[in-house]
Chains A and B, each alone.
Chain A
Amino acid sequence: MKKIILIFSFLGMFSAFSFGQLIDEKNVTVTMDLQPILQLNMTTSDQVDFVFDDIRDYYGGIIRYAATILKVSSSVSWDLYAVGTSQGNNGVGFWDQQMTYSGGGGANAISALPLSLLELHQYEPNQYDANATGAQTDYSTAFSPASALAVGVSSIYYSGAPYTAPLATEKYIQGHKGTVAGQDGAPGGSYLIANPPAGTFSDYYFTIDYRILPGLPAIFKNAGTNAGAAEDLVSVNGAGAYANPGVYTMNVKYVLLEDQ
């Protein structure tokens, strides 16, 4: 038995270390570097002007249809949100007043106009907002009639920290706070190759409408938070308040980020 095992052992060694036979191997190391790509294309003008020089504009508001078109390409799951910002000359959360007309207006003329007076409407709606908790999860609700009151329904989300992702209680354009697959973020893809059903846009293409509805007196009655808290000039400043005539500016940022 001992001899047999020894013979097998040496045969094994011979097999393991022998050469002189045709065998050879070449190797190719394949390295794949997948870099995260988040591309947001905005092909429309980066300036949207609202000039209120007619009484009908005050009553009916001014709407800029499809003033912004957003196209997304992403190699990772993503969220997209809009955030209103300003320089903060009138305080965080208020438009910047660049110029005052009529010598500053009367005693009740208010220069601190809330950013939430800007209303947005998006098309298509947010498809990945299953875990959103706010009253509105996106801007897909149609603009209310000028005669109706819709506090905060279409008001833009605003923040002094625009690059901090909004909470689950706020509006997103696509995706939402959280990382549940298929519920809180849109999957990677591109408007270039997405193939939506007829009559719809893909998950990677959005049109944005803007509206400002001052009303008369100009108090911006629909301005408010997503929770429905009124931010119109009367609610904040008291009866008799109205917007100080002048030139105001604010900035809308569209932020595309990896799902988080």
Chain B
Amino acid sequence: MSFYKARILFLLLLITRLTYSQPCTNPATSNCADAIAGTSQFLMSTPGNADFEFNDMQKYVSGITLSGATQLRLKIDEQIVGQCKWRLMMYIDNNGYLPNNEWEPLNFYGSSGTVPELNLIQVKVYNGCGTPLNSGVYQIFAGNIQYDILEIIPPLPDPINLPGSCDGTNINGAGSYLSDYNEYNFNIDYRIIPGYSTRTGTYQIKINFCLVEIP
């Protein structure tokens, strides 16, 4: 390989890494078992679509809530005993639509009003032991921008929180929904109250749930 080819390859890889701005990036360690080819599991037992249809004034007034629309189940195995620690987060994605604080419009029905912003959707994460950050509380993506993050289990400093206490601690060590269901299962509710200033039409966003090991 010539020097120039190597330099071009290096620059391409550098650009690839720099433009990869999504929050879910490869971890630096391998203390936990892989969830794709290994024995760990990251399961979403619910459909991958959440549809909100506002076709009645009462829905505009009261909003629509989809309870338990998403359910995540984790089984985390460790590769190195006592060293496996993980983080679970969600981030919002508007498919690159600009401005990057708005939902992606698929079509418009009317001409008046404004396109809804990303902080419109409310999410509530909870489980039986209250392990998520802000468990049971409706939150918004307050940063109101593409790839804005809401932590479910934040990247905590040591020590690793192991299951079993069921006291609301952010459990982030090895364990399984099979043995500690209320600490490794996460239910997510969605709620939208659109108000009357939004432009009628069909809009879309994607909410990504990222499970990743942390050092």
The yes or no verdict on A and B being binding partners is: yes
Complex-state Cα separation, A27 to B86, whole angstroms: 19
Q: Binary interface profile of A, 186-227, with partner B (CB < 8 Å = 1, else 0)?
A: 011110110000000000000000000000000000000000
Residues of chain B with a CB closer than 8 A to A188's CB:
113, 195-197
A-B contact count (CB 8 A): 200
Residues of chain A with a CB closer than 8 A to B116's CB:
32, 34
User: In residues 1-32 of chain A, which contact B (Cβ within 8 Å)?
Assistant: 1-2, 5-6, 8-9, 12-13, 15-16, 18-32
Q: Give the nearest-CB partner of B85 in chain A.
A: A22
Complex-state Cα separation, A60 to B188, whole angstroms: 68
A45 CB to closest chain B CB (Å) equals 24
Interface contact A75-B54, CB-CB below 8 Å = yes
A175 CB to closest chain B CB (Å) equals 11
Interface contact A258-B111, CB-CB below 8 Å = yes
User: In residues 49-105 of chain A, which contact B (Cβ within 8 Å)?
Assistant: 73-77
Q: Give the nearest-CB partner of A2 in chain B.
A: B3
Interface contact A20-B34, CB-CB below 8 Å = yes
B80 CB to closest chain A CB (Å) equals 12
Interface contact B86-A22, CB-CB below 8 Å = yes
**In-complex Cβ contact of B211 among A25, A32, A260 (8 A):** A25
Of the listed stretches A35-43, A116-124, A145-153, A239-247, name the one at the interface; the rest are far from the partner chain: A35-43
Interface contact B213-A31, CB-CB below 8 Å = no
User: In residues 1-49 of chain B, which contact A (Cβ within 8 Å)?
Assistant: 1, 3, 6-7, 9-10, 13-14, 16-17, 24-27, 29-38, 40, 42, 44, 48-49
Interface contact A36-B194, CB-CB below 8 Å = no
Question: Does B179 reach chain A (CB closer than 8 Å)?
Answer: no
Interface contact B6-A6, CB-CB below 8 Å = yes
Interface contact A75-B60, CB-CB below 8 Å = yes
Complex-state Cα separation, A77 to B72, whole angstroms: 40
Question: Does A185 reach chain B (CB closer than 8 Å)?
Answer: yes
B152 CB to closest chain A CB (Å) equals 12
Question: Does B200 reach chain A (CB closer than 8 Å)?
Answer: yes
Complex-state Cα separation, A8 to B12, whole angstroms: 12
Number of interface residues of A (CB under 8 A): 48
Q: Binary interface profile of A, 164-198, with partner B (CB < 8 Å = 1, else 0)?
A: 00000000000000010100010111101100000
Question: Does B103 reach chain A (CB closer than 8 Å)?
Answer: yes
Residues of chain B with a CB closer than 8 A to A22's CB:
27, 30-35, 38, 40, 76, 84, 86, 211-213
Judged by DSSP, the binding face of B is mixed
Interface contact B206-A29, CB-CB below 8 Å = yes
B3 CB to closest chain A CB (Å) equals 5
Residues of chain B with a CB closer than 8 A to A19's CB:
34, 36-37
Judged by DSSP, the binding face of A is mixed
Interface contact B204-A31, CB-CB below 8 Å = yes
Q: Give the nearest-CB partner of A188 in chain B.
A: B196
Number of interface residues of B (CB under 8 A): 77
Interface contact A9-B54, CB-CB below 8 Å = no
Interface contact B54-A32, CB-CB below 8 Å = yes
**In-complex Cβ contact of B57 among A20, A33, A39 (8 A):** A39
Name the residue among A15, A26, A73, A188 with the largest chain B CB count within 10 angstroms: A26
Q: Give the nearest-CB partner of B53 in chain A.
A: A33
Interface contact B203-A258, CB-CB below 8 Å = no
Interface contact B111-A34, CB-CB below 8 Å = no
Beyond the given pairs A21-B34, A22-B84, A29-B204, 16 more chain A to chain B contacts, judged by CB atoms under 8 angstroms and listed by A's residue number, are A2-B6, A9-B13, A16-B26, A22-B30, A22-B76, A22-B211, A27-B209, A31-B49, A31-B51, A31-B106, A32-B204, A35-B54, A35-B55, A35-B200, A36-B110, A193-B61
A-B contact pairs, 25 of them (CB 8 A): A2-B6, A9-B9, A9-B13, A12-B13, A12-B16, A19-B37, A21-B213, A22-B76, A23-B25, A23-B27, A23-B212, A24-B35, A28-B70, A29-B50, A31-B106, A31-B202, A32-B52, A33-B54, A34-B54, A37-B55, A75-B54, A75-B57, A75-B60, A76-B200, A259-B112
Interface residues, chain A, CB within 8 Å of chain B? 1-2, 5-6, 8-9, 12-13, 15-16, 18-37, 39, 73-77, 179, 181, 185, 187-190, 192-193, 258-260
